[in-house]
Amino acid sequence: MIEEIQIRNLGVIGEATLPLGAGFTALTGETGAGKTMVITALGLLLGERADSGVVRKGHPSASAEGRWLVPAQGAVAQRVAEAGGDVDPVDEANVELLLARTVTAEGRSRALVGGRSAPVGVLADIGSELVVVHGQSEQLRLKAPAAQREALDRYAGDELAKALAEYRAVFRRWQESQGELDVLVAERDRRAREAEDLRLALDEIEAVAPQPGEDAQLDERIERLGNLEDLRLAAEAARQAVSGDLDETPAAATLLDAARRQLERVAEHDPALAPIAEAITTASFVVADLGSQLASYLGALEPEGAIELARLQERRAELAALTRKHGPSLEDVLAHLEEGSARLLELDSDSDRIAALSTAVEADRSEIVALAARVHELRVDAGERLAEEVSAELAALAMPDARVTVEVTERAEFGQSGKDQVALLLQPHPGTEPRPLGRGASGGELSRVMLAIEVVLAGTDPVPTFVFDEVDAGVGGSAAIEIGRRLARLAERSQVIVVTHLAQVAAFANNHLSVVKDSDGSVTASSVRQLSGEERTAEMARLLSGLPDSPSGLEHARELLGLSAAS
């Protein structure tokens, strides 16, 4: 329930506070006074699109702020907590929620939920649980088959909701399986060619059997074998220089040995030579070890290097051919082998997958047929009951001879909501053919049908707050009085806020607000006043006759107020 709405610099409204509360609130005022801006403010609080054009001229921004009373353990309070907002406890069962929206003249928008900044989408989520708004656009929407089906489904209640949820789950699964099956069947030949090409490529790679890093290893060995003679000559020359040979040139080992003997011969004359002689001895051991290493290196050089080189070059050519075809690198070739094997396994299993999908699609379709039949049965039954109740309401709304029929027919194809097409048909008078609302109902009749549907739906699917924007358009007289009565009846279960220009409707409100317009010649500012007593009677007279002090208008206003009090 909305407790209060505050508006600042929105359209013609400079600053206004709307005290609302439980029951039936009527909002009246002169044409152009700003009643529409009240609906606009509420729309902003419910997450509707912000338009900079609503900002009052000469001001940087417009704002709307609303205080709601919501259940402490309800879905709205939980959604606010998820958004990081806070609520204020009122009693054990209820909390107070603050929603706010600001729109700048540049078109930027900011939303507050429970005192915390939040995306505008959060307002929309919360608003769908708080308020149902009806206006001329909703009357047009009621002409659409989808909206009529939604109204019937709301009336049908939990049993249909559960059956429809089960149907939709199976329908989505059936759609996914059917879609995959259609792709597999349509692309079977292409996938078969892909599998054959992939198989040839994998056979080619497996025949060569490349190993990770093999190309780098081959390059290293080929480089070595390609320079084998130079390596042999250099190593042999180094060995001779270190260890000596038949050559007459003294080797390093021979020279070191001679140096050591010379020092040992005179070392007894100077102790300082002893460590030098010892170092020469150590160097002799190192040189001897170097000679052994060089000899081992020479012995390990491939005796048939040319043959090995040719073999390695041939292997490198095989790998190069693979990389050109499946590369550009050996790593890419190996990745293609791994990924291609998995893809080939998938492609080779197409026949099994098609068979499995065909079985699943057939089973799901059978289940869809059964579930859709159950949904249809529930809708037909609910449609008969809804038609009876709405027709009874229309009789009370000065349409005593009108009958509403809910026609539930089956389409050729299944959809997300089953196979049904729902149409609300109106028979305004006996002897006439029932016609769809979109073609057979005037604006006034649509208003009354919509109100009758909401009154009936409120008995099975209550909404916290209903807002009606000139739901009485196109009606008057006794029909307007009955609309007022029915709005008051709806207000027994939910909060009802009505923007109206009819005294016959406003008379039944327990809370009457008037949008008052003042003008200083340049800027029009509007404010909202709560009316009671003679002020309310004068406003009712103005609505009836255009003059707030007309004696006949005042008399008629008092008569209407007395009539509503006696109802």
pLDDT digits (tens, 9 = 90+) for 348-383: 777 788 888 999 999 999 999 999 999 999 999 999
Residue 549 has a CB neighbour count (10 Å cut-off) of: 10
Strand pairing category for 24-29 and 511-519: parallel
User: What confidence category does residue 389 fall into, taking pLDDT thresholds of 50, 70 and 90?
Assistant: very high
Last residue of a domain, which of 330, 348, 366?
348
Last residue of a domain, which of 302, 323, 348?
348
| Average of per-residue pLDDT values in the chain | 85
Distance CA(20)–CA(495), nearest Å, equals 9
Tell me: do 523 and 536 sit in the same domain. Answer: no
Asked if residue 525 is part of any domain, the answer here is yes
Tell me: do 243 and 339 sit in the same domain. Answer: yes
Q: In what order do the strands lie in the sheet with 435-436?
A: 403-415, 418-427, 435-436
pLDDT of residue 441: 67
CA angle 358, 364, 366 (to 5 degrees): 105
Q: Does pLDDT of 247 surpass 70?
A: no
- What is the helix (H) or strand (E) element at residue 424, kind and residue range? strand 418-427
CA angle 218, 224, 226 (to 5 degrees): 95
Burial classification of residue 52, based on how many CB atoms lie within 10 Å of its CB (0-12 exposed, 13-18 middle, 19 or more buried): middle
Q: Does pLDDT of 458 surpass 80?
A: no
Tell me: do 463 and 331 sit in the same domain. Answer: no
Asked if residue 361 is part of any domain, the answer here is no
Which token pair is 105?
């003249």
pLDDT of residue 523: 55
Domain containing 272 equals 194-348
pLDDT of residue 248: 56
Distance CA(248)–CA(277), nearest Å, equals 25
pLDDT tens profile 399-427? 888 899 999 999 989 999 999 999 989 88
| Contact present, 494 and 458 (Cβ < 8 Å) | yes
Which token pair is 31?
């044409």
pLDDT of residue 483: 85
Distance CA(446)–CA(148), nearest Å, equals 13
Q: Which residue has the higher pLDDT, 104 or 191?
A: 104
3-state secondary structure 491-531: CCCCEEEEECCCHHHHCCCCEEEEEEEEECCCCEEEEEEEE
Asked if residue 334 is part of any domain, the answer here is yes
The DSSP output letter for 83 is T
Q: Which CATH number is 112's domain given?
A: 3.40.50.300
Helix (H, G, I), strand (E, B) or coil at 360: helix
Task: Among 91-105, 177-191, 433-447, name the one with the lowest average pLDDT.
Answer: 433-447
pLDDT of residue 104: 93
The residue ranges of DSSP E strands in 328-386, in sequence order, are none
Amino acid at site 482: E
Q: Does pLDDT of 541 surpass 60?
A: yes
Asked if residue 381 is part of any domain, the answer here is no
Tell me: do 55 and 70 sit in the same domain. Answer: yes
pLDDT of residue 538: 93
Tell me: do 201 and 223 sit in the same domain. Answer: yes
Tell me: do 462 and 480 sit in the same domain. Answer: yes
pLDDT of residue 272: 87
Q: Does pLDDT of 80 surpass 70?
A: yes
Smallest Cα–Cα separation from 243: which of 232, 255, 231, 261? 255
Tell me: do 336 and 449 sit in the same domain. Answer: no
pLDDT of residue 520: 59
Asked if residue 451 is part of any domain, the answer here is yes
Cα torsion angle, 387, 389, 394, 400, sign: positive
| 16 Cβ contact partners less than 8 Å away, ≥ 6 residues apart | 6, 7, 34, 515, 526, 527, 528
pLDDT of residue 346: 77
Tell me: do 451 and 480 sit in the same domain. Answer: yes
Q: Give the total number of structural domains in the chain.
A: 3
Q: Which residue has the higher pLDDT, 86 or 470?
A: 86
Last residue of a domain, which of 325, 348, 371?
348
pLDDT tens profile 29-64? 887 667 778 888 888 998 888 888 889 888 999 999
Asked if residue 331 is part of any domain, the answer here is yes
Tell me: do 526 and 540 sit in the same domain. Answer: no
Going from the C-alpha of 514 to that of each of 16, 31, 401, 488, 536, the distances in angstroms are 11, 12, 36, 18, 9
Tell me: do 508 and 556 sit in the same domain. Answer: no
Distance CA(470)–CA(40), nearest Å, equals 14
Say how many CA atoms lie within 13 Å of 201 toward its Cβ: 23
Asked if residue 539 is part of any domain, the answer here is yes
Average pLDDT of the segment spanning 121-137: 78
Tell me: do 500 and 564 sit in the same domain. Answer: no
pLDDT tens profile 485-517? 888 988 888 899 998 889 999 999 999 999 887
Tokens 């959809």 -> residue? 415
Tell me: do 207 and 80 sit in the same domain. Answer: no
Asked if residue 161 is part of any domain, the answer here is no
